[in-house]
Amino acid sequence: MSLLLGVLLFSWLTHSILYIPFIRLLYIWRFQRLAQKTLDVFEKRTPIFDKLHKGKVGTPVGGGLLIILLTTILFPILMLLLQYFWVPITAVYAMGSEIKILLFTFVSFGLLGLVDDMKKTFVWLKGSDFFGLRLRHKLILEIVLASVIGYWLVNELKIDIFYVPLVGVFHLGWWFVPFAVFVIIAFANAFNITDGLDGLASGVLMIALGAFWIISASILDTPLSVFIALWLGGVIAFLYFNVYPARIFLGDVGALSFGATIAVVGLILGKAPALLVIGGVFVLEVLSSLVQLLSKKFFHRKVFPVAPFHLWLQYHGWPEPKIVMRFWIISIVLAIFGLWIALLMQQSL
């Protein structure tokens, strides 16, 4: 555990040092989603959101890109160093396949989010839209990426189980692939929806990663534990600059990557029920948006004045820091509850 703590501190320090010049670089690139030149377009389509978030105009996006780059570079280097210095490494699965799946998810969904961010930011690009990729195009690409990941989970890691608390373990076989696709896409978009207030999504992610880090260390899965330590260190460093008032946002590059990857972490650990609990805030946010969307489509009326849930609270006068802090507290309680469920699952397997 001391080694993993050292990895986390090293990651935090490296990210902390690099975030200051990285933020300046984003300003130079004008990588700012809410640039003033696009505000008129924005006001016509989302007036409530715009009214509540005018103060965020000009804040750079793309903060997740630095975490993806550093973690992707440092993870294989650290694993090679551990092997070179004969540090004991234990893995639940084939180590090469596990590393491949983690990095593929982290990078591929990050690239998809980066393209989305660029279309939202650089509106002068031919065919660009302030609201990014079309929903159906993005969903198709997400399905393709998630299907590849689901196939590898079953074919290479031989994961196909689903545990129902108090009922038992079910082997889904190849049906696990569509199940994994659903979970990965759901969490990728749930994280993206949650990432709407300063420090909200990154703070909830920090707590969730801490819980999964404990689980991975308890089953002695070194590759996964090292990956989470590197990722968690980067998230903590980012959160320093993302708390209210934020100096930088994750952007879709971070939101899609982090949401999909935390889903994959939960699936690799075989803790899908715990994932739903530990990531309960993300589930609440995406459900509130889904209810709103379905109600508008089929009943032509809104259930809420505005969605997702955090925006509804803000609309009713809750200060932004108050919403974020209370969501963090809820996440801590859910993480403890999820750890308890994970422990019960390990005892029954």
Segment 93-103, tens digit of pLDDT: 999 999 999 99
According to the model, what pLDDT value does residue 297 have?
82
Number of domains in the chain: 1
According to the model, what pLDDT value does residue 124 have?
45
To the nearest 10°, report the CA torsion of 263, 7, 252, 312. 70
According to the model, what pLDDT value does residue 42 have?
43
Checking if the pLDDT of 52 tops 80, the result is: no
In this prediction, residue 36 has a pLDDT band, given cuts at 50, 70 and 90, of very low
Q: What angle do CA 160, 158, 215 make, to 5 degrees?
A: 75
Distance, CA of 16 to chain centre:
20
Complete DSSP assignment for 39-53: HHHHHHH-HHHHHHS
Q: To which residue do tokens 């998630």 refer?
A: 146
According to the model, what pLDDT value does residue 348 have?
63
Checking if the pLDDT of 295 tops 60, the result is: yes
Q: Which of 205, 206, 143 is nearest to 177 (CA)?
A: 143
According to the model, what pLDDT value does residue 200 have?
97
Within 8 A by CB and 6+ apart from 339, the residues are: 211, 214, 215, 274, 278
Q: Enter the pTM of the model.
A: 0.92
Checking if the pLDDT of 300 tops 90, the result is: no
Mean pLDDT of the chain: 89
- DSSP E strand stretches across the chain: 161-164, 168-171
Checking if the pLDDT of 204 tops 60, the result is: yes
Q: Please, which residues bridge with residue 169 across strands?
A: 163
What is the phi-psi region of residue 93: left when phi exceeds 0, alpha when psi lies from -120 to 50, beta otherwise?
beta
Q: Which domain holds residue 81?
A: 2-348
> Taking a C-beta distance cutoff of 8 angstroms, is the pair 89, 222 a contact?
yes
Segment 116-133, tens digit of pLDDT: 988 877 654 545 554 567
In this prediction, residue 45 has a pLDDT band, given cuts at 50, 70 and 90, of low
